């Protein structure tokens, strides 16, 4: 591995000159420049980014922290982030915490360690509050994507989850449903709670009762929602006629459980999800859902973050709210059910 010194020696110039041609940061005479470039080629030289980073105090890398890369929700955000990061000369590192706290902490600590210039965080839970608060206090560039942490003044970009849940619920209510179950996700997630709030509000506004065991957690996962659905529907006397699941992945579990139980969707059971994953649009699924604008969330988050970094503007915070849209497909039908 050759260093800038080797290049300088071979090109018969100073290391400073090499640095100048490398970074195009000062005029260098054509002859010297040419010698340097040749030496670089001959030695297959690539500047050490670590040394450079130490000196200039930035890395030109941004981390996107996700809790589960296996959930198709996140890759879409990641893709968008990478796109805009690249355009601005940044590299995106996706880090998967696998829902584990120590991983999460390690990931955000990259900021203090000097390894990354900023972080887009899609995975804060409530008990990370003070950790995040300290980072913000110390002016590290962070934006929360699809997450909220109330009480902390920081940058966020989220969809309008309350309204989304209201829309989903009203859709069902307008179809005549009165017995609606709501399958939630991880209780400590802000987004989760906002959706519950929206659901409860819509129900209340329509003077509809909400049963306690019809508001339970499928953890936004397929299998858990599948199991929970079987539980929920086993008593044929008092069944919900509709289930809203907090995620499409979970809604898929609902659909499959209903299928295995011989319950027809949408005739006997309406189901709606959240997210609008690719799978949900497939011919054999056709799930009615709320589209969370993932690509836009990723994009806006990255734009916001890079803006903060570039302008060194860590004092003003922006809170961007994106609309979510109800996508009506086939899992709710259009019939009025008693």
Partner DNA sequence: TTGAAAGCGCTAACAA
Partner DNA sequence: TTGTTAGCGCTTTCAA
Place of tokens 């209510």: 173
Q: Which of 38, 101, 138, 150 binds a second copy (CB under 8 A)?
A: 138
Identity of the residue, 60 or 317, whose beta carbon is nearer to DNA in the bound complex = 60
CB 55 within 8 A of CB 25: no
Is 23 near DNA (CB under 7 A)? yes
Is 41 near DNA (CB under 7 A)? no
Query: Interaction with DNA in 52-71: which residues (CB under 7 A)?
Result: 52, 54-57
Separation CA 196–CA 215 (nearest Å): 9
Distance (Å) of CA 32 to CA 17, 36, 41, 48? 8, 6, 14, 22
Among 27-35, 168-176, 203-211, 267-275, the segment contacting DNA (CB under 7 A): 27-35
Q: Which of 29, 86, 187, 264 binds a second copy (CB under 8 A)?
A: 86
Place of tokens 């829309």: 167
Number of residues that bind a second copy (CB under 8 A): 51
Is 281 near DNA (CB under 7 A)? no
Q: Which of 87, 101, 114, 153 binds a second copy (CB under 8 A)?
A: 114
Q: Which of 96, 121, 163, 193 binds a second copy (CB under 8 A)?
A: 96
DSSP string, 259-277: HHHT--TTTT-EEEEEE--
Phi and psi torsions of 95, nearest 5°: -120, 130
Report CA dihedral (59, 65, 69, 75) to the nearest 10 degrees. -70
Distance (Å) of CA 98 to CA 68, 79, 104, 111, 187? 5, 19, 9, 19, 17
CB 142 within 8 A of CB 186: no
The entry of a second copy, DNA, none near residue 72 (CB within 5 to 8 angstroms by kind) is a second copy
For the CB of residue 120, give the shortest distance to DNA in the complex, in Å: 25
Q: Which residues pair with 155 in a beta bridge?
A: 143
For DNA, the binding residues (CB under 7 A) are: 1, 3-5, 12-20, 22-23, 25-29, 31-32, 47-48, 51-52, 54-57
For a second copy, the binding residues (CB under 8 A) are: 1, 44, 46-51, 53-54, 59, 68-70, 72, 75-76, 78-79, 82-83, 86, 91-96, 98, 103, 106, 109-110, 112-115, 134, 138, 222, 252, 255-256, 259-260, 278-279, 282-285
């Amino acid at each position: 591995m050759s260093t800038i010194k080797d290049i300088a020696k071979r090109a018969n110039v100073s290391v400073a000159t090499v640095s100048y041609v490398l970074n195009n940061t000062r005029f260098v005479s054509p002859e010297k420049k040419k010698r340097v470039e040749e030496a670089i080629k001959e030695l297959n030289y690539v500047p050490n980014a670590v040394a450079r980073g130490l000196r200039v105090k930035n890395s030109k890398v941004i981390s996107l922290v996700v809790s589960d890369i296996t959930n198709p929700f996140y890759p879409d955000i990641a893709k968008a982030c990478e796109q805009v990061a690249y355009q601005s000369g940044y590299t995106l590192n996706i880090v998967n915490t696998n829902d584990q706290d120590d991983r999460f902490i390690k990931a955000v600590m990259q900021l203090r360690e000097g390894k990354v210039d900023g972080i887009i965080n899609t995975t804060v839970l409530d008990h990370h509050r003070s950790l995040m608060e300290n980072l913000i206090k110390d002016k590290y560039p962070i934006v929360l994507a699809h997450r909220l942490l109330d009480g902390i003044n920081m940058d966020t970009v989220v969809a309008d989850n309350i309204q989304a849940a209201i829309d989903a619920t009203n859709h069902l209510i307008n179809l005549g449903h009165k017995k609606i179950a709501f399958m939630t996700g991880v209780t400590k997630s802000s987004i989760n709670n906002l959706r519950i709030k929206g659901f409860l509000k819509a129900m209340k506004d329509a003077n509809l009762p909400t049963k306690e065991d019809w508001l339970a957690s499928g953890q936004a996962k397929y299998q858990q929602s599948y199991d929970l659905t079987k539980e929920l529907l086993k008593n044929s006397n008092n069944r919900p006629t509709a289930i809203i699941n907090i995620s499409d992945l979970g809604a898929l579990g609902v659909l499959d459980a209903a299928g295995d139980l011989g319950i027809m969707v949408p005739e006997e059971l309406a189901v709606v999800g959240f997210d609008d994953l690719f799978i949900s649009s497939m011919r054999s699924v056709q799930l009615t859902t709320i589209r969370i604008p993932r690509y836009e969330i990723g994009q806006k988050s990255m734009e916001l973050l890079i803006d903060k970094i570039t302008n060194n503007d860590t004092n003003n915070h922006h809170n961007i709210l994106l609309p979510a849209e109800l996508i009506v497909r086939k899992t709710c039908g259009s019939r009025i059910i008693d």
